[in-house]
Amino acid sequence: MMLTMKSGIRSIVILLVLLNLVFFMLQWLLGADFTSSFMLIKGQALVRPWILVTSMFLHNGVYHLIVNMYVLLVFGGLVEERIGKKRFLLLYFISGIVASFIGNFIYSAALGASGAVFGVLGALVMVMPHLKVYPMFVPVPVRLWIVLILFTIIDVLFFPNVAVLAHITGGIVGLLFGLWLNKQKKKFIKKFSSKKHLGSKDIDEYLRDGMV
């Protein structure tokens, strides 16, 4: 299926992706000094608190950037449509900042949007628990929460240089945020734009068992 998002910067997801791209271009143009000035350095968050945020927009290479932005575009757009722009922005930054804060006491240096992205995925698991995806090289749909658990295990076992604990922290924050959203859903849950060929039953089924 295709995710329908409002064009331009009216979409928070698109705006976040653009900001990440701008920061990556600055990293490329200004070099290592720029990156080291704004990335997360162990023990420095209390004296330079802005690095909890700026580190979320820095990436360690093209592959790192592409993976995070792809996941943000595909799943972030779905979450934004589901909960609205303001709540999505709150979710994104709370997840990323908490993940950065925890990482500040563990890793000598860290950067990337992964904590915030995992927060988005964690919230999505809660607000759309039956959502199914097609993981790489798997020809059948699998529940998103199962995929997240498997990817986390793979990270722990095979990628020791990845800030896995920051990913897990962001995911836990997202799960808790999604739990809160579920309790508040009657107050804010947004309806998808209706099309003439879709009935209310079709929309309800998609919101419950949506597949991307």
Q: Which domain holds residue 104?
A: 10-209
Establish if 164 belongs to a structural domain.
Answer: yes
Q: Residue 62 belongs to a domain with what CATH number?
A: 1.20.1540.10
Task: Compute the mean pLDDT over every residue in the chain, rounded to the nearest whole number.
Answer: 81
The tens digit of pLDDT for each residue in 68-115 reads 999 999 899 989 988 999 999 999 999 999 999 999 988 888 999 999
Establish if 2 belongs to a structural domain.
Answer: no
Establish if 135 belongs to a structural domain.
Answer: yes
Mean pLDDT of 122-151: 79
Mean pLDDT of 141-153: 79
Q: Give the Cα-Cα-Cα angle 188, 191, 194 (nearest 5 degrees).
A: 165
The answer to whether the CB of 82 falls within 8 A of the CB of 189 is yes
Q: Give the Cα-Cα-Cα angle 146, 129, 89 (nearest 5 degrees).
A: 100
The answer to whether the CB of 85 falls within 8 A of the CB of 76 is no
CA distance 202 to 104: 46
CA distance 55 to 50: 8
Residue 204: pLDDT above 90? no
Establish if 40 belongs to a structural domain.
Answer: yes
Establish if 76 belongs to a structural domain.
Answer: yes
The tens digit of pLDDT for each residue in 1-36 reads 334 444 444 789 999 999 999 999 999 999 999 999
CA distance 116 to 167: 8
Residue 183: pLDDT above 70? yes
CA distance 13 to 5: 9
Residue 163: pLDDT above 50? yes
Count of domains for the chain: 1
3-state secondary structure of 194: coil
pLDDT of res. 136: 64
The tens digit of pLDDT for each residue in 53-81 reads 999 999 999 999 998 999 999 899 989 98
Establish if 4 belongs to a structural domain.
Answer: no
pTM above 0.95, yes or no: no
Establish if 3 belongs to a structural domain.
Answer: no
Query: What six digits make up the tokens of 106?
Result: 């563990």
Please give the share of the chain, as a percent, with pLDDT higher than 70.
Answer: 76
Establish if 83 belongs to a structural domain.
Answer: yes
The answer to whether the CB of 177 falls within 8 A of the CB of 102 is no
pLDDT of res. 161: 62
Residue 43: pLDDT above 80? yes
